Chain A
Amino acid sequence: MSEYIPRLAEIVDIDIESPNTYLISLKLLDNENFSYKPGQFVMVSVFGLGECPISITSSPTRKTLQLCIRRAGKITNGIVDCRVGDVLGIRGPYGNGFPLERMKKNIIIAGGGSGFATLRSLVNYIVDRRGAFGDVAVAYGARTRQDLYFMQEYKSWQQAGIDVGITVDIGDESWKGDVGLVTALIDKFRLSAGSAAICGPPVMINAVAKKLMDKGFDHSDIYVSMERHMKCGVGKCEHCMIGPYHACQDGPVFSYDKVKSVL
């Protein structure tokens, strides 16, 4: 059977994360195993509209497959306009995911905006396998309080002994936390150099990586999840090329030294 034929998945739950972002829970209709790693992605089909790459937001340590979808274009709009019970197509998982076996103890996870969706998979994975990862800190920044995802989970991360820093670009009276850049949060963490996982806009990735290297992190221990336009997901269509690499197969997670020239 063709690699391009998707598996079918029913939407079992839709939750609102921000005014334009939704958390969609899926159940695969073939009831067969779907194993994945934090940092991998799937190609999601809305039949009649097309297909687009979406990173997996849930952790493989938990039962439900979840995708976090922001209204950004034709297909993402099509996905979030679906209702519970509607059927989508899923291909994958694709991509390399975060190299959990290679990541050193003491991990900083830094996300900016919707880039945090893929990192939530890693955070919850670490929460469920807490012993293996040493000190862990999460730094997450969004535009405003309303744009912050997964707010109901921060507490459970702290309870698992994870240092959680949250910041917004624009504060208001309802926000009592930090206002400013993600890099400022990193200054507050007391954590010796290990590995890092970053996802966000290129400016934010560069600023965070620079800050981490100043703190003694090696550029090859800083892992960046890259966003690219994709059509096939399997290294053929060439849309996602980053120099010699295909973000869909060689990535989307790259060590910073491999991609800093294109950021």
Chain B
Amino acid sequence: MAFLPQERLVPLLTLLSDRMEVVAPILVEGVPVFASWSGQPLALKDNPLMPPQEFFLPQREVLFRYIQDCGSYSFEEAAGKARLIFGIRPCDLRALAVLDRIFGSDPMDQSYFDKRRSTVLVALNCNEPGENCFCDHLGFGPTCSEAVDLQLTEIDKGYLVESGSPAGILILKEHPEFFLETSQSHLLEKCEMLGQAREAMNSCIARSLPGIKEAIKKADWNALGRTCLNCGSCTFVCPVCHCFTIQDLGVPDGERMRCRDTCLLSGFSRMAGGANPRISQGDRMQNWYLDKFEYIPQRTGLLGCVGCGRCSRVCLAEMDRWSLEVKR
């Protein structure tokens, strides 16, 4: 555990960026996004709309290259790149834990874990919940409940830094000049800040896991399906959503690409020949909710929702995603 004075954060990141790519939330056209950082002002107020899952399961990535050779083929795989993600929030960290279990189930997904293993995660606990946040109602957050290389909590004049892995300890040990000793008061300050964050979350959003499950049970999926605009936005901002498709690009040599897909679009389950087992938008919405609150918990032991509230922020139909009441 250590204390990192406010003014030393940027110099520390600058030093680390010599060794590896540093990704951090910065403003791009006025919007906070996780992007490659090279000294730009950090945008740490709100969690960006696009989760850092992009760096493990990109919108599109090359799984391998196929090269034709005298009628046969050879293959080339890309190697993972050393990277540090600064500012990942507890909810997105939790979502990574869910993805680790899904992509780690037999057979393990090499492409995902290549990136996962070559990435150092520096999390930032949430002192101020966002407008739609409800992680605390799901039983975790606004502090990290998963192991993380380093976690930072903003306290007076700096950050309380806690390490949770050899990679995190190494950063503390290799750069002692940046850190100061911690005192009991720093820890108390952290508890107080996070306690306030919890309170703030509880006072603005009344939502509970049993309440959400009940709403899913009672929902009128046909009516909700008619309200939904079939845009798929909620699935692209969800840090747990991971549906993908696989496509080839190029003849005779080319790339086998993995591209993000969404189970809310009608073509997702359509088979060659036209049969489609989830034909209505209501069926697809119900499947999305059941996956998050029933199926993923059965498979991984963790909820498929992390309470980040991003789906509410982007819903074009302005649905109440959690009461699932239909506006008339």
Contacts and interface: CB of A to CB of B under 8 A. Distances in A.
Interface of A: 1-5, 8, 29, 45, 47-52, 72-76, 85-87, 89, 227-229, 231-232, 234-244, 262
Contacts of B66: 47
For chain B, the bracket of interface size reads 35 or more
Contacts of B263: 238-239, 241
B272 A238 contact: no
Nearest to B103: A236
Interface string B106-127: 0111110000000000000000
Given A2-B111, A237-B243, A239-B245, A52 B73 contact: no
Given A236-B244, A244-B290, 7 more contacts: A2-B63, A3-B110, A4-B256, A48-B254, A231-B245, A238-B291, A241-B263
A182 to B, nearest CB: 18
B250 A48 contact: yes
B299 to A, nearest CB: 8
B295 A241 contact: yes
A262 B247 CA distance: 28
B277 A238 contact: no
Contact of A73 (B63, B102, B273): B273
Contacts, number: 114
A75 B248 CA distance: 11
Contacts of B73: 8, 47, 87, 89
Label chain A's interface by main secondary structure: loop
B77 A262 contact: no
B270 interface: yes
A70 B63 CA distance: 28
B270 A48 contact: no
Interface in B289-305: 290-291, 294-295, 298-299
15 contacts: A2-B63, A2-B110, A29-B72, A72-B272, A72-B273, A85-B71, A228-B269, A229-B269, A234-B109, A236-B103, A238-B242, A239-B245, A239-B269, A244-B290, A244-B294
B287 interface: yes
Interface in B244-284: 244-248, 250-252, 254, 256, 258, 261, 263, 268-273, 275, 277
B265 to A, nearest CB: 11
Contact of A231 (B109, B244, B254, B277): B244
B247 A50 contact: yes
B250 A229 contact: no
B71 A87 contact: yes
A228 B71 contact: no
A234 B64 CA distance: 17
